Structure 1
């Protein structure tokens, strides 16, 4: 009887732990970025002789859609990159550029990511686009039903990847207005494969007001 009680108790505890792991109770809450914070981020081009510049250059004139990639080799990130790239024709019509930032450049990971992403990619060595408060999802992610659903969705979509690089710091997607217009959309990945809705990106992009030459001169 005692062994049965211990077994039932352990099973009950495991069930409760699994239930809690599938709620948002233990997820770290994202801290919203400010325009001032994002403007001063240092980015690097991925050329042989990289140029360092302030992130605000990306959206100063025409706004921008920016993906902070969790890991280029991740098949879930490649799926989201393909989703965003499907918006490229409409973004081009609006005059809004599409960019991505990565937190590291190892082997051919960025090069292998480019077939999925139709925009220019930059290096954010200090991982500032993943802040102001960096959030990580560790092994708890593998017991979340939402994550497994995302895995199957991406696999069924024909996406594959590898395990190269850091993949625990969560990414996101930003739609930036031009100049001082501000952040029009900020999607923070809450778990592996938590994609932004393309329709939301497009709605935000349509709100961008391109800077006129006179406005740029005043600045």
Structure 2
């Protein structure tokens, strides 16, 4: 009995000392790690783990407090922006981000047509640091306001953390913006996702709500213009009455 037991231990020891056995074990561990990494990468590129957005209501947006960026700031309710003529509003994720600057420039390209419709173009930022807003304005042709409570980024505030840097869509957006000549910096908070709203005049409601699902997920400008054309200015409504 003892002889067979020692013989079995000797066989196991011999197997462990065999270089080919060690190599096979390491290969198996490596293959398992690669498989886990591939699965993680695959899951990161689906929408399973993305923050779920909650649609805003007009009542929610109307009550948001904004601040002007003048030397003597004025605090006002957001409904002032669209009360008479509606508005297109960009909730900027980070003014220094080259992806946000790209979207700002694209929205600004619509301004001549928005002006014809009488629809103003605005942006809100969640913080004012250094010269970030000033440096953003060459890309954005509308007025910019401060949303200190980050309400335009709600009702359910969404974030994309470092998972964004393994998403193929984000890298595609990076290359698109870079090839378009856009550059930026890393100043400020950039994980809370932004969006674009087209709001009708008075109580007409929200005609378009685009929520950024990942870094660089910009709104379709054609959709923005189509929504803006549906706005019925309050002046026209009152004239018909």
**Structure 1 residues 216 and 132: alpha-carbon distance in aligned structure 2, compared to 1, 3 A threshold:** farther
Instruction: Give the paired residue count.
Output: 217
Deviations 1:79-133 (A, max 9, x none): 0000000000000000000000000000000000000000000000000000001
CA distance in structure 2 between the partners assigned to 1:14 and 1:163 by the alignment? 28
Q: Which runs of 4 or more aligned residues in structure 1 lie more than 3 Å from their structure 2 counterparts after TM superposition?
A: 215-219
CA distance in 1 between partners of 2:213 and 2:71 (Å): 34
* TM-score (norm: length of structure 2): 0.88
Distance in 2 (CA, whole Å) between partners of 1:118 and 1:97 is: 10
2:216 is aligned with 1:216 = no
Could you list the per-position Cα deviations for residues 58-80 of structure 1 after superposition, in whole angstroms to 9, with x for gaps in the alignment? 00000000000000000000000
| Unaligned ranges ≥5, structure 1 | none
Alignment partner of 1:121 is 2:139: no
1:35 positional shift: 0.3
Shift of 1:2: 1.7
Report the aligned-residue RMSD. 1.5
- The structure with the largest alpha-carbon Rg is 2
Superposed CA deviations along residues 175-200 of structure 1, whole A, max 9, x for unmatched, are 00000000000000000000000000
Q: TM-score, normalised by structure 1?
A: 0.97
* Runs of at least 5 residues in structure 2 that lack an aligned partner in the other structure: 1-23
Deviation (angstroms), 1:217:
11
Question: Structure 1, residues 195-216: CA drift from partner, whole Å, max 9, x if none?
Answer: 000000000000000002xx66
Counterpart secondary structure, 1:79? helix
- In 1, distance between residues paired with 2:34 and 2:172? 24
Give the C-alpha shift of residue 28 in structure 1: 1.0
More helix by share: 2
